[in-house]
């Protein structure tokens, strides 16, 4: 279990905080392959910090020539800086434009004196490091994922790993789950000297239990029946292919259920391919592809499900599992990374090895048993998600970044 009982420290004064999130613009609609947890994390962190009265400036890369260079949102200011062409680029491609990004950030930092830099993902981590050194500003880096998790070891991945290794040694690091302590030792051969485990949060006002029938109606799926829910990007690493196979096995085992799949991309969607996979297994009519749903409304997708599956090959945290729990829905998840801390029998959950299709079919079937469904739901609600409020998380990050006070 994470030790989450620490109270939010009170702040001596309002600080000026620069959030650097070069690759993830917090204003983007989430659900496509490029936008996921980091986008939500940065958006919610900025909002929560602003609620404390801090001045919050978020810096991201300009991807759309029409988008405003600066805009006010939810109490913070979002700045879109030039770094490469104003078009969508893959994260690895952005690495070629870090010098330009640094020059733009330098100009912004000339105009305003910040107390703290909070950077997200290695691209922003290296920028934060450069600015912090040049200007003597405190810097805290959140590691949302790790270069070592990649199978391929191309030049950019090796560069990323080296930058992460440096950050781990020199910068206060926020990691999202306790399982990463071992990962740092194993993959990077070091114990970060300044490390705090601070989980991601969930918006408790939006993600809460609700009426199942009503949300199913709103989503246009049949009200009756039992459903497994999937919410996330439709990439292979998220395990959606295996989930469809396991779902077919679940039905072959005699469990009457449907599968709700939420997520998808505007370009290069994998939906046709996944639909074909479902058809090959003879379950196409039971798999409902609902497309990407904006984060503001995605709680409905969780509420419509009886059990949420998180079949990822790896998760540093596993935001979707937390969101499902906040909606009172039991989770079956892969036995990896941060999901080990979030999905436990005490919180109504079960974990299975990612590729164990028979295990997945068995666990989903067990979770969907009528009596078991009620028991697990009761456990989810009893365990609660109160400690994961964004205000508590935001305050811990700032306190750690400024004073290293909550290092575990
Ligand atoms: N999400 C969403 N709409 C969708 C699909 C996903 O709002 O159609 C959200 C989901 O609720 C979660 C985030 O996208 O907040 C995915 O975060 P996670 O950390 O699970 O995955 P990532 O994409 O960052 O690897």
pLDDT tens digit string along 35-52? Answer: 678 999 999 999 999 999
Q: Which of 32, 38, 144, 233 should be mutated for ligand 1, with most atoms under 8 A from CB?
A: 233
Ligand 1 center to residue 23 CA distance, Å?
A: 15
Average confidence score pLDDT of the chain: 92
pLDDT of residue 35: 60
- Strand segments (E) across 153-262: 173-175, 195-197, 227-231, 258-262
Query: Taking every pair of C-alpha atoms in the chain, what is the biggest distance, in angstroms?
Result: 65
* Res. 2: pLDDT tops 70: no
Ligand 1 center to residue 236 CA distance, Å?
A: 15
Ligand 1 center to residue 137 CA distance, Å?
A: 32
The verdict on the CB of residue 320 being under 6 Å from ligand 1 is yes
pLDDT of residue 135: 97
**H or E element at residue 158:** helix 155-170
Quick one: angle between helices 37-51 and 319-326, nearest 10?
Answer: 60
Atom of ligand 1 nearest to the CA of 302: 11
pLDDT of residue 403: 80
* Res. 408: pLDDT tops 50: no
pLDDT of residue 1: 34
pLDDT (average), residues 219-239: 94
pLDDT (average), residues 13-19: 95
The verdict on the CB of residue 258 being under 6 Å from ligand 1 is no
The verdict on the CB of residue 231 being under 6 Å from ligand 1 is yes
pLDDT of residue 295: 83
Domains of the chain and any CATH numbers: 16-201+389-401 (3.40.50.2000), 212-386 (3.40.50.2000)
Give Cα 128 distance to the centre of its chain.
21
**H or E element at residue 119:** strand 116-120
The verdict on the CB of residue 37 being under 6 Å from ligand 1 is yes
Atom of ligand 1 nearest to the CA of 292: 8
The verdict on the CB of residue 262 being under 6 Å from ligand 1 is yes
């Amino acid at each position: 279990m994470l030790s989450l009982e620490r109270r939010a420290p009170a702040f001596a004064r309002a600080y000026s905080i620069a959030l650097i999130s070069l690759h993830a613009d917090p204003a983007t609609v989430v659900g496509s392959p490029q936008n996921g947890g980091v986008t939500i994390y940065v958006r919610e962190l900025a909002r929560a910090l602003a609620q404390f009265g801090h001045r919050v400036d978020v810096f991201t890369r300009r991807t759309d020539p029409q988008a405003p260079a600066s805009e006010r949102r939810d109490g913070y200011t979002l700045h879109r800086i030039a770094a490469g062409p104003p078009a969508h680029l893959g994260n690895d491609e952005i690495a070629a434009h870090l010098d330009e990004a640094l020059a733009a950030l330098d100009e912004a930092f000339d105009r305003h004196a910040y107390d703290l830099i909070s950077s997200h993902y290695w691209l922003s981590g290296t920028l934060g490091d450069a600015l912090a050194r040049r200007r003597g500003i405190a810097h805290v880096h959140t590691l949302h994922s790790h270069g070592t998790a990649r199978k391929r070891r191309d030049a950019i991945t090796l560069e990323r790993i080296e930058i992460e290794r440096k950050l781990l040694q020199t910068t206060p690091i926020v990691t999202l789950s306790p399982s990463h302590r071992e990962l740092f030792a194993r993959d990077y051969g070091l114990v970060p000297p300044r490390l705090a485990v601070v989980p991601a949060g969930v918006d408790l006002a939006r993600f809460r239990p609700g009426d199942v029938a009503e949300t199913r109606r709103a989503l246009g799926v049949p009200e009756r029946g039992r459903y497994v829910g999937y919410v996330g990007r439709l990439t292979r690493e998220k395990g959606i292919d295996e989930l469809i196979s396991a779902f077919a096995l679940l039905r072959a085992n005699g469990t009457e259920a449907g599968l709700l799949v939420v997520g998808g991309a505007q370009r290069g969607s994998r939906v046709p391919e996944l639909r074909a996979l479902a058809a090959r297994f003879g379950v196409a009519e039971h798999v409902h592809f609902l497309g990407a749903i904006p984060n503001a409304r995605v709680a409905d997708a969780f509420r419509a499900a009886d059990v949420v599956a998180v079949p990822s090959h790896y998760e540093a945290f596993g935001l979707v599992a937390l969101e499902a729990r906040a909606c009172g829905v039991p989770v079956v998840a892969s036995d990896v990374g941060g999901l080990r801390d979030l999905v436990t029998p005490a919180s109504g959950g079960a974990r299975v090895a990612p590729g164990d299709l028979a295990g997945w079919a068995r666990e989903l079937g067990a979770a969907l048993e009528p009596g078991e469904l009620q028991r697990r739901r009761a456990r989810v609600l009893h365990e609660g998600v109160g400690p994961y409020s964004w205000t508590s998380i935001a305050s811990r990050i700032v306190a750690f970044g400024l004073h290293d006070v909550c290092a575990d």
